[in-house]
Amino acid sequence: MFENLTNKLQDIFRQIKGEGRISENNITDALREVKKALLEADVSLAVVKNFTNKVKEKALGQDVLKSLSPGQQFIKIVNDELIFLLGGETTYIATSSSAPTIIMLCGLHGSGKTTTSAKLSIFLRKQGKRPGMVALDVYRPAAIKQLQILGKQINIPVFTIEGENNPVIIAQNAVAWSKENGYDYLIFDTAGRLHIDEELMKELVNIKQTLNPHEILLVVDAMIGQDAVKMASSFHEHLGINGIVMTKMDGDARGGAALSTKSVTGQPIKFIGLGEKLEAFEYFHPERIASRILGMGDILTLIEKAHESVELEKVKEMEQKLRKMEFTLEDFAEQIKQVKKIGSLDQILGMIPGLGNKLSSDQISMGEDQIKVVAAIISSMTKAERRNPAIINSSRKNRIAKGSATSVQEINLLLKQFEQMKKMLKMFSGEGMFDGQLSKKKRKAMQSLLSKGIDGMPPGMGGMPGMPF
């Protein structure tokens, strides 16, 4: 997400940090590059011009804070304006005083409305709500079936009327069905088109007038770039949308749609989809997204994801084993499993300040591949081998290699990494490692080890893949 833009902005910031003071000349030069980077990210030209003008006005119109360097001051101004451009603050979903809260999803064909219906349902259920879904796309082949399959998969009820081709009639009956069954939220998956036309808009307006929804959310595919601006403007003009759901954010290295739609429509991005998994759905936090764009990470989201995904009891159990130096390959396999619940290596590193932008795509890909290799090797071991790697002799290595479709060399590397990691843990155990009380000397020593990495790992990725440092 925003990878290209982040890399370019980082280059620009590095250049201006070297300046002794902020002047009109170096600000103009920097903003010329910022403008170019935003346009290459597919951000609307009008939005780019407005953004850069505001940054320049503020950069030249205020004193540099004594506690910050000129470069840092410029970055702060860019960060503040970026947060404003993205909406300023998180906008949460509406809740009606009397159930059900009606949410109408609209958008072009292929934007991800049906999948978003399921993702939003899971999201609401995590908040303790009882959602239901309604299939209103009576035109696309198998659209209703797709929603029913998703509903069955996530155990969320789907309302439809077999043989009924009028979405307005289906919508009317769905509300009565929801009240009878006590659902808190009712999500309507409407039909889309390959292009915006008056027939589609007329149908959506009729549905809106029938339902009087509390939320009209426009589902936008982040991959379509500047086309999203024109499309969002048209839907808002006809329907008066309340918010935007940006899908496929993980697949868009440019990010122009996300940076343009709020400014053009005046309506906030409320949710983002970050992957194919139905749980990969979250509120849109402008300040956190701005931080990611500027390469500063997003530690709050990482913490939230960890709390949602990782089993606390297993974490406590793992900490006790680490304290007692009883950590085994069996435990390591479990830890890989826990970390993978949070997200991909790319997503996790991108949320850690100062890490995501230091590693190349090839290094991250190498890390992902190694995690898979490690998991395959450990799963091919017996319980005794996982608990005591010292018993793994040549014949056992050959058997493990065959079972995991790897080589003896890869097994040797894993065992070497594991021993190096245990030595590192032993070196720092008893020194406040688990209580955040490491001495300054020990902290520097650990940072040095982590920056160099363990044999076979890219520098900056610390120890073995999946380890929490």
Backbone dihedral angles phi then psi of residue 438, each to the nearest 5 degrees: -60, 140
Give the rounded distance of the alpha carbon of 322 from its chain centre.
Answer: 30
Give alpha helix (H) positions in 240-309: 256-265, 286-293, 299-309
Contact, 34 vs 55, CB < 8 A? yes
Q: Place 426 in a pLDDT band, splitting at 50, 70 and 90.
A: low
Q: Place 209 in a pLDDT band, splitting at 50, 70 and 90.
A: very high
Angstrom distance (rounded) from CA 255 to CA 177: 40
Whether 432 has a pLDDT exceeding 50, the answer reads: no
Whether 215 has a pLDDT exceeding 50, the answer reads: yes
Q: Average pLDDT of 190-216?
A: 87
Half-sphere exposure of 36 (CA within 13 A, CB side): 11
Comparing C-alpha atoms, which of 128, 103, 124 is closest to residue 279? 124
Angstrom distance (rounded) from CA 224 to CA 227: 6
Comparing C-alpha atoms, which of 310, 245, 259 is closest to residue 93? 245
Q: Average pLDDT of 64-91?
A: 76
Angstrom distance (rounded) from CA 48 to CA 38: 7
Q: What is the pLDDT of residue 293?
A: 78
Give alpha helix (H) positions in 130-255: 143-154, 167-181, 198-211, 227-239
**The total number of residues written for the chain in this structure:** 469
Strands 269-273, 281-283: pairing kind: antiparallel
Q: What is the pLDDT of residue 230?
A: 81
**Each residue of 271-311: pLDDT tens digit?**
988 878 888 888 988 888 888 777 765 555 666 666 665 56
Q: First vs last Cα of the chain: how many Å apart?
A: 23
- Six-digit token string for 182: 């006590």
**Each residue of 119-143: pLDDT tens digit?**
999 999 999 999 999 999 988 778 8
Beta-bridge partners for 106: 218
Angstrom distance (rounded) from CA 405 to CA 1: 33
- Six-digit token string for 21: 């003071």
Q: Average pLDDT of 340-358?
A: 61
Contact, 421 vs 454, CB < 8 A? yes
**Each residue of 39-72: pLDDT tens digit?**
888 788 888 898 889 888 887 765 554 445 667 7
Whether 464 has a pLDDT exceeding 50, the answer reads: no
Inter-helix orientation angle 227-239/198-211, to 10°? 50
Helix (H) or strand (E) run with residue 293 in it: helix 286-293
Kindly state the percentage of the chain with pLDDT values over 90. Answer: 27
Angstrom distance (rounded) from CA 120 to CA 269: 14
Write the DSSP symbol of residue 414.
H
Contact, 7 vs 260, CB < 8 A? no
The least confident of 73-87, 347-361, 432-446 is: 432-446
Half-sphere exposure of 107 (CA within 13 A, CB side): 29
Angstrom distance (rounded) from CA 314 to CA 22: 51
Q: What is the mean pLDDT of the chain?
A: 78
Q: Place 456 in a pLDDT band, splitting at 50, 70 and 90.
A: very low
Q: Which long-range contacts (CB under 8 A, 24 or more apart) does 166-170 make?
A: 166/138, 167/136, 167/137, 167/138, 167/191, 167/203, 167/207, 168/206, 168/207, 168/210, 170/134, 170/135, 170/136, 170/138
Q: Average pLDDT of 432-437?
A: 46
Angstrom distance (rounded) from CA 462 to CA 469: 6
Domains of the chain and any CATH numbers: 3-85 (1.20.120.140), 101-284 (3.40.50.300), 302-452 (1.10.260.30)
